[in-house]
Every structure is written in C-alpha cells, then in structure tokens.
C-alpha cells in the first residue's frame, strides 16, 4: 500500500515550514538589533544614543538598519584615536624641527650650523662631544663648563681697575 499524503499532513508541513521561517526572521531581526547596539558602542560612548538606535531597528526592522547605516558616525572610536595619535606624532615631529635664526630655514636638532647660511646653531662640548645650545653655560650631559664660558661667578661683571702706581 503506497503512502498517500493527506491534506492534514501537508497543512502541518506548511505550518511547520512557516513557523521555522518566522523563527528565522525573528532571530535575524534580533541579531540586527544587537549588531546595531554593538556597532554604535564601537563608534560612540553615548549609552542613550545606543539604546535609541537599537530601538529604531527593533521598531522598523530592515528599514531601521538602513536608517542607522545612513546616520551612524563614519569612524569607530579606535580609528579616531589612531588618527589623533598620528596627528600628534606629526605635530611633535614638526615641533622638533627648529628654524635658523639667521635665514629662517628649517634645521634639525643635530646640526651645528645652518646649511643654507652657515649660521652657528650649536657647539660641541669640549669634554663629552654632545651638542650644546649656544646660550648654555654647562653641558647637561657631563656637567662640564661650556667652552668659552667659564663659570667663575664673576662673569659679566667688571672688576675695578687698580690705581696707577
């Protein structure tokens, strides 16, 4: 005797398939809500905004996701942080470069003279050889007095001339 499907078994199979498809759509909907919340958590620190975006997706479904994708911040917090670090590194590199007092050309901190106008920028320490700024009285590396600047305590003061004998 061959198996003959009855109208009741077809209806049950269709009902089961519809219920399974509905459960899949409900799970997809909830997954979109959670994805929206987590995505906005990576892009903003505002908790109310995260809840609001998740609520819009919960109410509007796929249309809410499209609306969220149109309105969400362009970069994540980590991308913004990396961008700020790159800017800070560039600024510190620019600040590390100095200008020649003679001609205004950009110079590096390791240069003793300006290559454009030959203005003396720094001098070498007579003891350790490290570069010193022109106005320094002592070498910060070895504490030796700077060449040509004896630190005797009377530098810059005139001594009274002795009367002629």
Average pLDDT, rounded, for the chain: 84
State the pLDDT at residue 45.
Answer: 92
Closest CA to 68 of 104, 41, 95: 41
Question: Residue 88, Cβ neighbours under 10 Å: how many?
Answer: 10
pTM over 0.85: no
State the pLDDT at residue 148.
Answer: 60
Closest CA to 68 of 110, 101, 40: 40
pLDDT at 159 over 60: no
| Main-chain phi, psi angles of 120, to 5 degrees | -70, 125
What are the pLDDT digits (tens) for 2-18?
A: 666 676 788 899 999 99
């Amino acid at each position: 005797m061959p198996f003959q499907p009855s109208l009741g078994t077809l209806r049950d199979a269709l009902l089961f398939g519809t219920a399974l498809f509905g459960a899949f759509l409900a799970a997809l909907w909830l997954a979109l809500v959670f994805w929206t919340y987590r995505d906005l958590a990576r892009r903003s620190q505002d908790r109310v905004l995260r809840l609001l975006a998740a609520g819009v997706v919960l109410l509007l479904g796929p249309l809410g996701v499209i609306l969220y994708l149109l309105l969400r911040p362009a970069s994540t917090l980590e991308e913004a942080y990396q961008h700020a670090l790159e800017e800070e590194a560039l600024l510190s590199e620019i600040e590390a470069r100095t200008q020649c007092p003679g001609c205004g050309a950009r110079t590096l901190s390791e240069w003793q003279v300006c290559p454009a106008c030959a203005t003396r920028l720094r001098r070498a320490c007579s003891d350790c050889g490290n570069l010193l700024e022109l106005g320094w009285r002592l070498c910060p590396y070895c504490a030796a007095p700077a060449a040509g600047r004896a630190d005797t305590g009377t530098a810059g003061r005139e001594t009274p001339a002795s009367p002629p004998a």
